[in-house]
Amino acid sequence: MPTYDIYLQGLAMTNQPGFRSFTFGYDRTIAVSGPYKLAIQWLKRFLTTKGSDYCNPDDGTDFPLLIGSNVVDVNDVRDVILLAIQDCNAQIFKVQEQQANLPPDEQLASATLTDFQPLDEDGFNAWITLRNNKGEELVVPLPTVP
């Protein structure tokens, strides 16, 4: 008996009969490679709370702990983000050392805080620039934290 995958695909507002389009098909999942694969791996680790993965308790950062915390000073929030970026970068470098034949466009060269904008007392917008060893850059917005 064949197996079916459900695909969620966003549509342009002009073509949208509803919020999403659901299709069934025989195709396998679409592979992600290059700088987008690097971005997904980096963000997954950055947005995972350190210690929440029982198999790998050292994975993740303290960034998710900002949500609901009592850190209110904008400079302290920025410092937590900078420390989380450094921690995430170190973890990615360690993982990449163990992977042979990793393409240069999937190897992290650096990740830096590009922009940080306080929204008000209780929120901020932040953007991270990821650079790979091929010299490509990808600017990734962090989720807005109200």
The neighbouring-strand residues paired with 129 are: 112, 139
pLDDT digits (tens, 9 = 90+) for 25-44: 555 556 677 888 888 889 98
pLDDT score recorded for residue 56:
86
Q: Which residue has the tokens 């990615």?
A: 92
Beta strand spans in the chain (E) = 5-9, 21-25, 108-120, 123-132, 137-141
Those residues of the chain that have pLDDT short of 50 are: 1-11, 16, 18-23
pLDDT score recorded for residue 34:
83
pTM of the predicted model over 0.85: no
Between the alpha carbon of residue 109 and those of residues 29, 38, 105, 119, the distances in Å are 28, 10, 9, 30
In the chain, the domains with their CATH numbers are 35-141 (3.10.450.40)
Instruction: Show the CA angle centred on residue 115, arms to residues 131 and 146, nearest 5°.
Output: 120
- The residue length of the chain stands at 146
Burial-class residue 120 by CB neighbours within 10 Å (0-12, 13-18, 19+): exposed
pLDDT score recorded for residue 145:
57
pLDDT score recorded for residue 4:
41
Q: Please count the other Cβ atoms lying within 10 Å of the Cβ belonging to residue 15.
A: 7
pLDDT score recorded for residue 95:
92
pLDDT score recorded for residue 36:
86
Distance CA 109, CA 111 (A): 7
pLDDT digits (tens, 9 = 90+) for 101-116: 889 999 999 999 999 9
Q: 60: which residues sit within 8 A by CB, 6+ positions away?
A: 45, 48, 49, 50, 51, 52, 53
